[in-house]
Amino acid sequence: MSAYSNKYEEFLFHRIDDSDLLTGFVIGHLVIEHLLEEIILNYDSKLKEHFLSLAHGRKITLINSLGLVPDDVASCLHSINKMRNKFAHQLGYEPNKGELLNLISKCKASFNDMTDGFEQLHGALTDSDSLLEVQEKFGVGLADLFIQVVYDLEGYANKDD
């Protein structure tokens, strides 16, 4: 039996914890995109082709406009996407501590913090110089951010409204 509560949690911990910041962020972003697709397919499977043709930001906007995620969740997802875009378009981009703390704070305000991952990550990063140091000293890291987001997105994907 797995020590993790779902397949995404296990995937994120194993993939992100053993990777650098860029790779970990892209992996987390890909899992979010997968869950966005599940959300739209559970809403109306006929939207699949159109949804897949959209850029990530437009996917978030569509899901939000349909009322499938609240505005604050969509805003946080857009912030995650903006940071991913910086990785993609600014070779060598490395977010500074302030950018990471802002992202964590925004996610903390928008998503449930079921396992206190946001709280722990924010506190540890506040007391450290980098995510690498946070991982080494406190045993929390980027995976904790994405796992909290994934928990809520799974809930939105499985709504039976």
Both structure tokens of 119: 């709280």
pLDDT for position 27: 93
pLDDT for position 159: 63
Q: Give pLDDT tens digits along the chain (161 positions).
A: 345 456 788 888 888 877 889 999 999 999 999 999 999 999 999 999 999 999 999 999 999 999 999 999 999 999 999 999 999 999 999 999 999 999 999 999 999 887 888 999 999 999 999 888 998 899 898 999 999 999 999 999 986 54
Global confidence as pTM: 0.91
d(CA 98, CA 126): 9
Query: What are the distances in angstroms from CA 122 to CA 51, 65, 66, 100, 138?
Result: 33, 30, 31, 9, 11
pLDDT for position 18: 77
> What phi and psi values does residue 90 have, to the nearest 5 degrees?
-120, 90
d(CA 10, CA 1): 12
pLDDT for position 157: 92
CB 146 within 8 A of CB 32: yes
pLDDT for position 6: 66
d(CA 10, CA 31): 12
Question: Please, which residues have CB within 8 angstroms of residue 13's CB and are 6 or more apart in sequence?
Answer: 4, 143, 147
> End-to-end alpha-carbon separation of the chain, Å?
32
**7-157 fold:** Four Helix Bundle (Hemerythrin (Met), subunit A) (1.20.120)
